Each structure stands twice: as C-alpha cells, then as structure tokens.
Amino acid sequence: MAPGLPGFTIVGLADTALQEARERVRGAIRNSGYEYPPRRITVNLAPAELRKSGASLDLAIALGILVGSEQVSANGRWAVLGELSLGGELRSMPGLLPMVAALGRRTVKRIVVPLDGLAEARLACDVDVVAAATLAEAAVLLRESRRGRARVQPPRVELAADGLGERVGSDRGWGIGVASEMGPDLAEVRGQLEARRALELALAGGHSMVMIGPPGSGKTLLARTVPGLLPALDDQEARIATIIASVSGSEPLTDLVRARPFRSPHHTISYAGMVGGGPLLSPGEVTRANDGVLFLDELPEYDRATLEALRQPMEDGEVAISRVGRAAVFPSRFQLIAAMNPCPCGHAGEGDGRCRCQPGIVDRYTARVSGPLRDRIDIWVHMPRVEPAEYVLSGAHEGSDRVAARVVEARRRQMLRSGRVNSRLSGRALRGACALGQAEQAHAVRLAEMDGWSARGIERLLRVARTAADLEGVERVAETHLDEAARFRSPTGRCLGFAVAG
C-alpha cells in the first residue's frame, strides 16, 4: 500500500475472474464495516510466471488490504481461501479439497475456509480447518489464538481415521450397493444372454467392451445397469475420486465419493470435454471416469480426433494436458464400454433385407472406429434384435444383486493374486497368473493361429480367459475359458464390416 492517487492493481498473470476480484474486494470491505483505504494498492501474485485463475484468492486479497491498512491484525501463520460477494459473504469454489490438502502438506496447519465448504475441507487429514461465513468473521478468526476461537465446530465428517496405506482390495471397500444412482436392474433386460455374460466378464476384469446391435436390441439399457453392478471404491480410490469431484464440481462436497464413477458423455462432446483442458485446465471425462466406467453410446458418432485421443489415456492410465504456460497430468484409469449400430440405419448383418445402406457407407461407418482403438477392445459382443416371443415369454433372468456379488468376488481374487484387475496385466505377470498347462498352451496357440492374432491379440485372449476362470473361482485357466474368451474376440462375420485387428 503506497501513498499517491487511489488505485487498485493486480499483477502476476491473473485471469479475468481474478482481475474482477478488485470489485468484489472493494465492495466486501465496505459492506463489512471496514474502511476501504484511499491509497495506491498493488496486489502481487507470486510466482509471477505462473497463471492464476478463479476467485479463490478474494479473501486473501481482502484480508491483505485490511492487515496492510492496520484495521486487522493477524496472529500467527494462516492460510485463507474463499470467494467474496460484494456484500462480504464467503463462498466456496471448485477444488477446495486439493487446495487444503496441498496447504497441509506445506505445513500450513491453520486454514480459514468458507462455511459452505467446511465439510469438504475437513476431508483432508491433519489440517486445522476453521470456517467463516463472512469477511468480518474471517478477520476475527485471524486475530484469535489457536484455542478459544469463536465459531462452533460442526462434527468432523466420519472418515474412519483413513487407513492410509491400507492394502487395495482388502475386504473393506468392495461392498456392494452404495452407488446412489444404480440405474435399472439387470432383471429388466430381456433375452441377450450372451451380452449379459460379456458384461459380467467385462466388469469382473475391468475389460473394455463394445456392443454391436440394431436399435432396440437393448444396448443402452444393458449399459445403464452398470452402476448397479460395480463394487464400491476402496479407500484409496475414494480419496482420488473425491479430489476429482472437488475439482470438477460446482457444489461443495459433504463426504467421500464412494460410488464407482459411471460417465456417459453425449457424442457431441468436445475434445477438451473428453480428455480435459479448457481455460481452467479442468479434468475431462476420461479423468472423471477414473477407476470407473466411461460409456460411449453410438461410438462412431463421436468426433474422430476425440476417439483417437482415448488411446493414450487407456494405455497409460493417465492423461497429460497443457495450455499456454500450464500443464497437468490427471489420472485416467477408466474402463471403456461402448455401443454402436452395425451401420448407419442399424440393420446390417441381420439378413432380413432391411438394411438399405450402400456397402461403401457401411465400411466408412465402422471405419470411424480406427484399428488402433479396436485393438484396445478386449470384448466384442453382438446383440441381435430381441424377437417379440423372447421379449414376452422368456422367464425371469438373474437380477443385479447376484451378478454384482460374483463381480466383487472375482475382483477380490484378482487383487489378492496380482494386486490389480486382469485387464491391467501383461507379459510375464499375465502368463504367471494364467498358469496354463501344456494342453492349454497348445489350445491357445491353435486359437491364435486360426484367427491370425498378434502377440497383443493373444494377451487380450489370456486376460479375458483369466477373468472367466476367476468368475468360476478356479486357479488355473482351462480350455473352456480360452474358448469363451475367443468367442468374444472375433465379431468378424457376425458383425458386418468388422475385421478386428488381432
């Protein structure tokens, strides 16, 4: 603060929202019973070369001015976070939880947060968080010593003492039925026994899957049962999911995110919406689906570049995004489940002459899903039209409960054996996990030679076969498991236009 013509300048690569802090801070100070000092005010945001964005620094700027003009005194070392309204009320902002956690790691142990973000901020461990509803309340807190602070503390959110380092796959965390939006029950899906089995395999082993079938065959309905079939997140996964939700969300969180993510972005989604980016370097769908399922309906309708951008995150389990001067790496361990028609009209391959698409058009349609992307799909399943008789007459199918229980058990076996789901195994770890006998090895070679698969194709076969064996609860992969995996490896012939790269 300096003498001279009254003014207010913010330097240090602030974006528009942050530049507008000047107006919010001025209004908030005046409306909180303090004097706005008639001096030259310069706010310097360091380090200078790093871009700053958003409104999370409002409170810090306002308190800085009040301390600088000696209207407020600060006792000890505090961090303050929050957006101000013109009237002086404090509001929470996206990403509060990771900010609090990062401050805690930097040994700032006392943090003032907006009252509506208190529950979220308290999800971070080992940090002394206090809440203020207004600028005036925050100023009072700053003066006080550690003890004897004014505001009543709400009860700490039950985090179960957070067993950091607890082993992934321990019994806890694999419970069923905590997802809030469970979708329809599997019992509502008529017919489609093969697709139901394919979905069970996919979820049990974390395998990527594509369903191909005409409109009305139940692809979307089947996909919507997924949230009810997925096991809850374990503690470590829940922490990561909660941070991702904090950064992506508009509403402050109140508790750990326990439901395994199920994201189904529309095919009009932008590139940045899918992989992440934009002015705030926000996480995209591949990150919001981390440790869960990314469902893409009408797969060929997505923008080609957007689909291609899925390959790297699928392979690496993380995605690097950058914008001018900033870069970030986000987790993206998602499982891809997709649905598509066999041709633009949807009826190719049914042999009933209803498809009116020109052959060239069909090829071009299916080719929108590129070879390298197809090559990353473990399970292909064809879903024929459901015949009226089958729809009306077929008896009751298994409900979601029983399938979910098998999925949980199969995943538990994988975690105990390898510490990861089968879809993330490769090389020696995969061969070791399969424990193929000589007869089974010969059988796998026969299958591979029959369809001309590459080494990559064989690995995919082994992974799915391993999951089939896990669902059955057996330690060694047998020929029947290999056969089943092979059935879901080759849609060629049954699904028109698709020659899957081996």
Angle made by CA atoms 421, 286, 219, in degrees to the nearest 5: 75
**Where do runs of H (alpha helix) occur along 342-399?**
359-367, 371-374, 388-393
Strand intervals (E) in 213-289: 262-263, 276-277, 282-283
* Helix 193-205 with 455-472: angle, nearest 10 deg: 100
Which residue lies nearer to Zn ion by CB, 313 or 497?
497
Which residue lies nearer to Zn ion by CB, 290 or 366?
366
Closest approach of Zn ion to the CB of residue 120, in Å: 50
Angle made by CA atoms 381, 214, 197, in degrees to the nearest 5: 25
Closest approach of Zn ion to the CB of residue 213, in Å: 13
CA distance 201 to 199: 5
**Class of residue 418 by CB neighbours under 10 A (exposed 0-12, middle 13-18, buried 19+):** middle
CA distance 193 to 61: 62
At 209 the three-state DSSP class reads strand
Residues forming contacts to Zn ion in the complex (CB under 5 A) are 343, 345, 348, 355, 357
Closest approach of Zn ion to the CB of residue 55, in Å: 51
Which residue lies nearer to Zn ion by CB, 354 or 456?
354
Which residue lies nearer to Zn ion by CB, 343 or 477?
343
Closest approach of Zn ion to the CB of residue 321, in Å: 37
Closest approach of Zn ion to the CB of residue 269, in Å: 25
**Class of residue 379 by CB neighbours under 10 A (exposed 0-12, middle 13-18, buried 19+):** buried
Which residue lies nearer to Zn ion by CB, 351 or 395?
351
Which residue lies nearer to Zn ion by CB, 276 or 346?
346
Neighbouring-strand partners of residue 14: 52
Closest approach of Zn ion to the CB of residue 49, in Å: 55
Closest approach of Zn ion to the CB of residue 487, in Å: 25
Which residue lies nearer to Zn ion by CB, 210 or 496?
496
DSSP 261: P
Which residue lies nearer to Zn ion by CB, 74 or 345?
345
The torsion angles phi and psi of 146, rounded to 5 degrees, stand at -55, -45
Structure tokens at 367: 């080719």
CA distance 440 to 278: 50
Which residue lies nearer to Zn ion by CB, 355 or 434?
355
Closest approach of Zn ion to the CB of residue 489, in Å: 25
Residue by residue, what is the 3-state secondary structure of 118-187? HHHHCCCCCCEEEEECEHHHHHHHHHCCCCCCCCCCCCCCCCCCCCCCCCCCCCCCCCCCCCCCCCCCHH
**Where do runs of H (alpha helix) occur along 419-454?**
427-434, 438-451
Closest approach of Zn ion to the CB of residue 354, in Å: 8
Which residue lies nearer to Zn ion by CB, 115 or 355?
355
In 3D space, the residue among 290, 194, 211, 207 whose CA is nearest the CA of residue 459 turns out to be 207
Closest approach of Zn ion to the CB of residue 352, in Å: 11
